[in-house]
Amino acid sequence: MAEIRLRSLAHSYERQPKGADDYAIRQLDHVWHKGGAYALLGPSGCGKSTMLNIISGLLQPSEGDVLFDGERVNELSPRDRNIAQVFQFPVVYDSMTVFDNLAFPLRNSRVGKARIQARVEEIAGVLELENLLNRKARNLTADEKQKVSMGRGLVREDVSAILFDEPLTVIDPQLKWKLRRKLKEIHEQFDITMIYVTHDQLEASTFADKIAVMYEGRIVQFGTPTELFENPNHTFVGFFIGSPGMNLIAVERCDGGVRFGDTTFPLSPTLNERLGEAGSTNIKVGIRPEFLQLAEADSDTYPARAMDVEDLGTYQILSVNLDGQILKARLSEDARVSAGDMVHLRFPAGWLKVYVDDYLIQEGSA
Ligand SMILES: Nc1ncnc2c1ncn2[C@@H]1O[C@H](COP(=O)(O)OP(=O)(O)OP(=O)(O)O)[C@@H](O)[C@H]1O
């Protein structure tokens, strides 16, 4: 088990990168602590696989260092880094039995016969492969093959970390949920550092204690699922996490706060000061649909026109037009609003977030 530190890491697939756009990883410092269950979450092409391959040693970073427990490992081969990696598609030896596939990494590390037998049976038990141990891998279904692939990653007890690169893509949806729970159990039982790459927020939050959200080659936030939901540090986290994502409105500074059209949001003196210091005109406010409220008309409410109500069974999503901006609000199943109604919106203090150049500014932040 190791702490994995990425220091001033950057990677470009170009020989002579000309600008930031040529980088798959852009100047990044990050620590994956020993024994954590982590998810690396982000859209296609944001650099997740590149980062995993740099950690495992399949790829040499063009800049920066990879440190395992403080030791630089940039030049070490994947084998010498002791990393297990499970890919999107199964990697199994078709001509070998399931037992031999699972035993393979242990035999390579010269583990004793009795220990191999015990460990293979233990991992086969956890993954419910015990009845298939004598079958040749070529006769397995895609699901079963991927379970064997995962088992090969999990079987070694000496690994620094296990990296999963979208491992459940080929798995049947019913089984997906079950396997994710299994991985979580295995993490709790064996206390292994696990990094799980996915572009699915549900998959990330059911597996991980902490999620790193990646966007355009950077980790824009590293936090618990609750932190990402309640306090998105970047507009992308607001937009990407949650369903629907955060409402974001481009605004400009005005006396005492920010405004768009004829609508003004007063801000605290500290936030006003921070906006002044930042000096940028790229300002947005954001509020999650879960926190935008309907209220009686009052001095702190905003009149808006209901455009559409989507009934999702246990709740409803209301789309409203506030001064030309379409916002979404999550309402309880018994709220009575119809398209065309005038409603009054309240933005509760603390839930209206302010972003400068897409990063959150807060009362307490520097
Ligand atoms: N071997 C390669 N050669 C050139 N460019 C590459 C290579 N591999 C990845 N890229 C580019 O690097 C960027 C990051 O890709 P990467 O595969 O790391 O993203 P990802 O987040 O894992 O995406 P996905 O979820 O689609 O696998 C993308 O723009 C991609 O096109």
Which of these, 38, 72, 70, 74, lies nearest to 59 by C-alpha position? 74
Q: Return the CATH fold of 4-235.
A: Rossmann fold (3.40.50)
Q: What pLDDT score does 78 carry?
A: 87
Q: Which CATH superfamily is domain 245-361 in?
A: Nucleic acid-binding proteins (2.40.50.140)
Residue 365 has pLDDT above 60, yes or no: no
Tell me, in angstroms, the distance from the centre of ligand 1 to residue 297's CA.
50
CA distance 181 to 300: 45
Q: Where in the chain is the domain with CATH 2.40.50.140?
A: 245-361
Average pLDDT estimate for 314-325: 96
The ligand 1 atom at the shortest distance from the C-alpha of residue 42 is 21
Q: Rounded distance, CA 29 to CA 16, Å?
A: 22
Q: How confident is the model at residue 182 (pLDDT cuts 50, 70, 90)?
A: confident
Amino acid (1-letter code) at residue 306: A
Residue 338 near ligand 1, beta carbon < 6 Å: no
The confidence score (pLDDT) of residue 363 equals: 82
Over residues 258-271, the pLDDT tens digits come to 999 999 999 999 99
| Per-residue model confidence as pLDDT tens digits over 124-178 | 998 889 999 999 999 999 889 999 999 999 898 888 899 999 988 878 888 888 8
Quote the distance between the C-alpha of residue 179 and its chain's center. 18
Closest residue CA from atom 1 of ligand 1: 13
State in Å: Cα 61 to ligand 1 middle: 14
pLDDT greater than 60 at residue 85: yes
Q: Is 13 in the pocket of ligand 1 (CB under 6 A)?
A: yes
Domain span(s) for CATH 3.40.50.300 in the chain: 4-235
Ligand 1, atom 31, lies closest to the CA of 45
Q: What percent of the chain has pLDDT over 90?
A: 81
Q: How confident is the model at residue 228 (pLDDT cuts 50, 70, 90)?
A: very high
Token representation of residue 287: 């509020």
Ligand 1 proximity of 46 Cβ (cutoff 6 Å): yes
Residues 6 or more apart in contact with residue 99 via CB below 8 angstroms: 120, 124, 133, 134
Please report the DSSP string for 140-193 in residue order: S-HHHHHHHHHHHHHS-SS-SEEEEESTTTTS-HHHHHHHHHHHHHHHHHH---
Which own/partner pairs from 166-171 qualify as long-range (CB within 8 Å, at least 24 positions apart)? Answer: 166/88, 166/197, 166/198, 166/199, 167/86, 167/87, 167/88, 167/196, 168/203, 169/88, 169/89, 170/88, 170/89, 170/90, 170/142, 170/143, 170/146, 171/142, 171/143, 171/146
Query: Confidence class of residue 195 from pLDDT cuts 50, 70 and 90?
Result: very high
Nearest CA to ligand 1 atom 6: 13
Query: Is the confidence at residue 105, as pLDDT, over 90?
Result: yes
Q: Residue for token digits 């089984």?
A: 175
pLDDT at 181: 83
The pLDDT value recorded for residue 221 is 97
Does residue 345 have a pLDDT over 70? yes
Give the 3-state secondary structure percentages of the chain, helix then strand then coil, rounded to 5. 30, 35, 35
Complex ipTM > 0.85? yes
User: Ligand 1 pocket test: which of 46, 89, 220 has the largest number of ligand atoms within 8 Å of its C-beta?
Assistant: 46
